[in-house]
Amino acid sequence: MLRKKPNELIVYESLALRKSLSKAETKKYKKLKRGYEGELLFDAYLEPLQRNYLLLRDVWLSSNNKTFQLDHTLLINNAIYLYEVKNFIGEYYYSNYKLYLFSGKEIDDPLIQLKRTESLLSQLLHLGYQVPIYAAVVFINPECTIFQAPATNKILLPTQLNRYFQAIPDSVTLDPVFPKLANKLESIRLEKSPYETLPDYQYKELKRGIPCIHCRSFYTKVEGKGCICQKCGERERFQSAILRTAEEFMILFPGEKVTSERILEWCNLQVNLERIRYTLQKNFEMKGNKKGAYYIRKNLE
């Protein structure tokens, strides 16, 4: 199963195309993007595993009124493996059990975060499950060097990852408790990160248009059933481009009604309103009468 891009990152990606981000917003956007890219790198190590396992990604939980995140939770060999993935780039060093940039600036040690996560998950599982937990911080980026790293199996460096996953023994059949445990964790997961913070923005300040699916410049031309990018030559089906942009509008403005007129304005292309209405009616659920009609995502259940 492909990793779902965090909603917070989706919003920042859209805003970066449609307005000038402040320095703080740019810093936050880069951090979110780097974190997501690191998680994709880690996913690539798990894909070749041909073993009996279950995998949970980005699960936010609450235990004793404390929230915590499970980055990657691998249920294999009748144990729980927790991985805290860090996409650090550059050179770092440990000194007196503290982590520093090479400039000498101390930064948050992910080992402390890992210890907290492991402890809170253990407390949660003691309410009904007795299973072993193994946890490690994964420095995933090959351009990351950690000097004087503690000699512990709680740290996995980039040069260790191939051997680490190749050394995972063939899995025994998972005990039935593990699918039940995975379902339980999914059922009590929080809907979103409690630390999600979105920048302030207004519809009027955002650039309208459909960004090219390839180069991210905005389409200016429609020919037949396709949108043409004047910059890179990419051609995208008109309906696909409209749907993608309508979904973006829903994410950016969850409290606003999605009407044909508003999506036409948001897409900023010289096309007939009926083409927009037809696309929305075909792919979304229509609410209200024809004059005041608006659209919501279809219920897939």
- Domains in the chain: boundaries: 7-188, 208-296
Beta partners for 285?
Answer: 296
* pLDDT per residue of the chain (301 residues) written in tens, 0 to 9: 567 889 999 999 999 999 999 999 999 999 999 999 999 999 998 887 767 889 999 999 998 889 999 999 999 888 999 999 999 999 999 999 899 999 999 999 999 999 999 999 999 988 677 889 999 999 999 999 999 998 899 999 999 999 998 887 766 788 899 999 999 999 999 988 888 889 999 999 999 999 999 999 999 989 989 999 999 999 999 999 999 999 999 999 999 999 999 999 999 999 999 999 999 999 999 998 777 889 998 874 4
CB 264 within 8 A of CB 279: no
Q: Tell me, yes or no, if the pTM score tops 0.95.
A: no
List all residues 6 or more positions away from 203 whose beta carbon is below 8 Å from its beta carbon.
253, 256
CA dist 175 and 81 (Å) reads 15
pLDDT number for residue 83: 96
Q: Of the CATH numbers 1.10.287, 1.10.3210, 1.10.3470, 1.10.10, which one belongs to the domain with range 208-296?
A: 1.10.10
* Nearest of 179, 153, 188 to residue 70 by alpha carbon: 188
CB 208 within 8 A of CB 17: no
Q: Which long-range contacts (CB under 8 A, 24 or more apart) does 153-156 make?
A: 154/111, 154/114, 155/111, 156/83
